[in-house]
Structure 1
Amino acid sequence: MPLTGTFQRSLDDKQRLSLPKSFRDELVSEEAPELFLAPETDQSLSLFSADTFNRRAQRLEQDPAVQGRAKNYLRLYYSQAEQVEPDSQGRIRVPERLLKFAGVSQDVVLLGVNDHVELWDRARWESFLSEHSPAFDRLVSEAFS
């Protein structure tokens, strides 16, 4: 099932974030309880299941053009990515370096984006929505042309 929806959350004092049950159900399994949190574009973070993260890594590894052009991207991406595992209450701890990258203080928005979850600082997400929502029709045309 594609991941969908928008959820507002707050980090607790220990930098833990409660994941919505619908996201946990799709991303976590008994065989693969670990998740991967990684930097993304627009100063967001992405949360992947282990399987999706591994498929993404294989896709990057198999493209020789990516290896040559994007060596610095690969260094930055993988050095900042972090394996996390939800605790018994469905919370993950977000590392300080990733919070800093995304400009997150306390209030966040979690977005279901097909095969992964995006984590945004709430104010940054609201700004993104204001900027890009008026272009929705054009974006749909671009996506399906």
Structure 2
Amino acid sequence: MSQPVKAFYTGLFRHTLDDKNRLTIPSAWRAAHGASDTFLATPHPDGYVAVLPPVEVEKLYEKAAQKALTDRDAQDAFARFFAASHAFTFDKQGRISLTDELRAHAGIDKDAVLVGTLSKFNIYSPARWTKVEERTAGDNLGDIMRRIGI
């Protein structure tokens, strides 16, 4: 009996938003998902859009469901987090729509850089992705990988 395929996201893709602010998601990333799979796009504090696939959304759902309604800090944090987030599915052409707020947060005008991080993916403006590349250039990447245990 074979195990279900675990979705993973690798690679870097440069895409341009269309006139309706839709962005095509790489077909390799869509392959493990059905038409009704719901993703969550959320603004990351470091200035990009983090996209959580269904399995990560489910983990987040469980964490949110475990917090008491009387836990004001947790409820406030979840309210702010989910107010800024956008749930979506892919359209028939494999595109998603980015809200104006998410695009503004990430500094995305027309061009975007999609970067896989294995269990999820991120959407950057080209300028912000360049900064990530600069921070991780040369020996810095090796040092970071050793520090995080990869």
Q: Among 22, 41, 44, which residue is 1:16 paired with?
A: 22
Residue aligned with 1:128, SS: helix
**After superposition, what is the alpha-carbon deviation per residue over 1:101-125, rounded to whole angstroms, capped at 9, x for unaligned?**
1111111110111111100111110
Q: What TM-score does the superposition give when structure 2 sets the normalisation length?
A: 0.81
Residue aligned with 1:133, SS: coil
Alignment of 1:22-33 (within 5 A): 22-26=28-32, 28-30=33-35, 32-33=36-37
Alignment of 1:43-82 (within 5 A): 43-59=47-63, 61-62=65-66, 72-82=76-86
Give the unaligned 5+ runs of structure 2.
1-5
Q: Among 138, 142, 146, which residue is 1:137 paired with?
A: 142
RMSD: 2.2
Code of the residue aligned with 1:21 in structure 2: it is: S
Name the structure 2 match of 1:4.
10
- Which whole-Å CA distance do the structure 2 matches of 1:137 and 1:143 have between them? 10
> Per the alignment, do residues 4 and 63 of structure 1 end up closer, same or farther by CA in structure 2, a change over 3 Å counting?
farther
Give the unaligned 5+ runs of structure 1.
none
Q: What TM-score does the superposition give when structure 1 sets the normalisation length?
A: 0.84
Deviation larger for 76-85 or 33-42: 33-42
Paired positions, count = 141
Which of structures 1 and 2 has the bigger CA Rg?
2
Name the structure 2 match of 1:94.
98
Question: 1:83: Cα distance to partner?
Answer: 1.2
Question: 1:137: Cα distance to partner?
Answer: 1.5
Deviation larger for 34-43 or 53-62: 53-62
Code of the residue aligned with 1:144 in structure 2: it is: G
The structure with the largest helix share of the pair is 1
Residue aligned with 2:136, SS: helix
> Per the alignment, do residues 129 and 61 of structure 1 end up closer, same or farther by CA in structure 2, a change over 3 Å counting?
farther
Say whether the 8 Å CA contact 2:106–2:125 is kept in structure 1: yes
- Which whole-Å CA distance do the structure 1 matches of 2:75 and 2:124 have between them? 26
